[in-house]
Amino acid sequence: MALTFSHNKLEIDQQLYKLVVDKVLPDLNIESDHLWTSLQKILEAFMPRNADLLETRDNLQKQIDDWHIQHKNTEHSLKEYKQFLKDINYIVDEGDDFQISTENVDAEIKTIAGPQLVVPINNARFALNATNARWGSLFDAFYGTDVIPNEGELAKGNSHNPLRGQRVVALANEFLDSALPLTEGKHSMVSAYSLIDSGTSKTLQIILDNGHIAELKHTDAFIAYSEEGSCYSLLFKHNELHIEIQIDPCSLIGKTMLSGIKDVILESAISTIQDCEDSVTAVDAEDKTLVYKNWLGLMKGNLEDNFEKNGKAFKRQLNADREYITTDGKPLSLSGRSLLLVRNVGHLMTTDAITYEGENIPEGILDGFITALSFLHDYNGNSPYKNSAAKSMYIVKPKMHGPDEVLFTVDLFAAIEDAIALPRNTLKIGIMDEERRTTVNLKECIRQAQERLIFINTGFLDRTGDEIHTSMEAGAFLPKAELKDQPWIKAYEDWNVDIGIACGLPRKAQIGKGMWAMPDLMADMVKSKIQHPLAGANCAWVPSPTAATLHVMHYHQVNVAHVQNELAHRVTASLDDILTIPLAPKERTQFADEIVDCLDNNAQSILGYVVRWIDQGVGCSKVPDTRHVGLMEDRATLRISSQIIANWYHHKLCSEEQVIQSFKKMAVFVDEQNSHDPSYTPMAPDFTGIAFQAALDLALKGCAQPNGYTEPLLHAYRRKQKLIDNNIH
């Protein structure tokens, strides 16, 4: 049995207790007794409310299930269905128009549009890499990805390929021509970028290869510089984003160019969500303590990770700020790190890291309390680095269903602020619009958080999983690949932006879009992800620091503020379209081969992710699909895949035996895909392992899972596997 520390009605796991008392509380002027007493008061006030909200979810789901069952043999009436949802308070009455009033928000949230990373916080190296991805090399991003085909004379090879390097420079010059156009010529024609000292200030002189002097079309774009010997950097600003041109005629690249350019550095990952939720495997007190330890290290500025790669030892730590001199001679310091948000877990799960009167407490309450407590180090200036210049903490809250659940979170944040002496509304909230009841009530959800709101976003995977589960009894859904082409999803994406703009989010908060899930297909991302800023999103998720450097080019091409101004005048997306359930036509159910193929694809997706989750404790990784294309997967992928199989099984499009056979077939396939991993445990040929059973249960028992969530089964099976592993070792 785990060792615990007792405090009144609380039992606190010893690992968590030692972290808080020995590492968090010093320098905060908070007594341990006061802290635990305050937490107990919060639990006494909010645990019953949390339970009531979960009961409301279940009651609403039962009423919706019953309605669909009762209307099974009648033609679906959208009008009647919408009225029914209003009658049961699934859709609430909409109030008057309003504008959010959030104050003390950093520019990275308010005014800078750009890429956003999401990273599992339990992996210190990943957490540090993402935080340090505020600045990225455009040359490296081009050279190392398929933006330039890795074939023929342009192939990367085992050493630097000068032909590939020339293509890198050409692409970088094309970018500079777009973001920093010249009055004459192009950047490829520049023979020198020179700093001219005019006494009280410095100006930029651009000399072309024909001897002509060119200027920037927007002369105020050049804002600062730095110098070190014969090397120097020029800093520009465009669309609120910084571009740094590094000049070093002696470098490998610089000596091949007339201008001596060594690299182009782009301000890339403007913000990063450090994730405690879908991308981590935190199933017990040990796991939660690691999550909190890493967040604390980021807030105190001392998080480090030592590792070995190719026989060499490396240390990863936070990047320092970047120092420049402005054109009029003043020092300029820019953050070397992405602005950090933290994603707490939702309302569903409980944790044994702390118990109250012997009962596991809601994990979301503990997340809010401990992450906010650690944030005090940033708030009080106890770190050599500053995360929030506005002295705010940004908490993304997922999986909330409707306005009452948002209000619960707002009230919880207020109680935490009181407990640790933070000013009201210091703890800001990001609402993830990924549950159907939040979508249809988005305006009222925002209203509840209008003094704290800094973020709304859309996410196809979780939102589709909830769409399927909510309408499970309505009928068989279309295959997963076809759901993106249905009216409801476009309406949902547009609705989120429309409501966000109408509620005053522009220049105050982020409107976000979802992940590009294929980290190896950067050429495709560069071609297509410009659609996110064009849709009015001032942030969108990317799977890696390199992807952030490439995606940020889109925010130089598109001025999102201008797009949002234009979109403010369009007709709001249709709620009726959002409520149109994407069911398969009945004749589609006769295509047995199609069903088998879809079963295999979904089973492979589930198995490829779950086997790492259960056996290795990996909550976010690049999982190859049936075409061997690597996809960045987290629990959202699992939710949609398990729910589509559960839906088809429930409506007898496939039998239990078909599902089992598909999982066995694809387990062999997944084993082959992981044959290179010495730590991998094959699922075939006996199919009796815990990971295989967990994956199968997610599909066959999917209808019974609360709102289709995967956490209850995953946590139970992972804990079982950890117990076995600990007994072995």
What are the catalytic residues?
Answer: 343, 634
At position 503, the amino acid (one-letter code) is C
Give CA angle at 625 (115, 677), nearest 5°: 95
Alpha-carbon distances, residue 36 vs 9, 116, 302 (angstroms): 10, 35, 25
Question: Per the structure block, which two tokens stand in for 259?
Answer: 């201008």
627 residue type, one letter: R
Give me the torsion for CA of 220, 549, 291, 622, rounded to 10°. 170
Radius of gyration of the chain (CA): 27
Q: Are strands 427-433 and 453-458 parallel, antiparallel or unpaired?
A: parallel
C-alpha–C-alpha distance, residues 688 and 685, integer Å: 9
Are the CB atoms for 714 and 614 separated by under 8 Å?
A: yes
Q: What is the residue whose two structure tokens read 């604390």?
A: 296
Q: Number of helices (H) and strands (E), helices first, in the chain?
A: 25, 26
Estimate to the nearest angstrom the gap between the alpha carbon of 192 and the chain centroid: 41
- What strand order describes the sheet that includes 135-137? 135-137, 261-267, 241-247, 231-238, 222-228, 322-326, 331-334
**Structure-token pair, residue 57:** 């979810």
| CA–CA–CA angle 644, 647, 648 (5° rounding) | 90
Among 358, 353, 361, 292, smallest CA distance to 43 is for 361
Query: CA end-to-end span of the chain, whole Å?
Result: 17
Q: How far is CA 149 from CA 95, 140, 142, 145, 170, in A?
A: 53, 14, 10, 8, 14
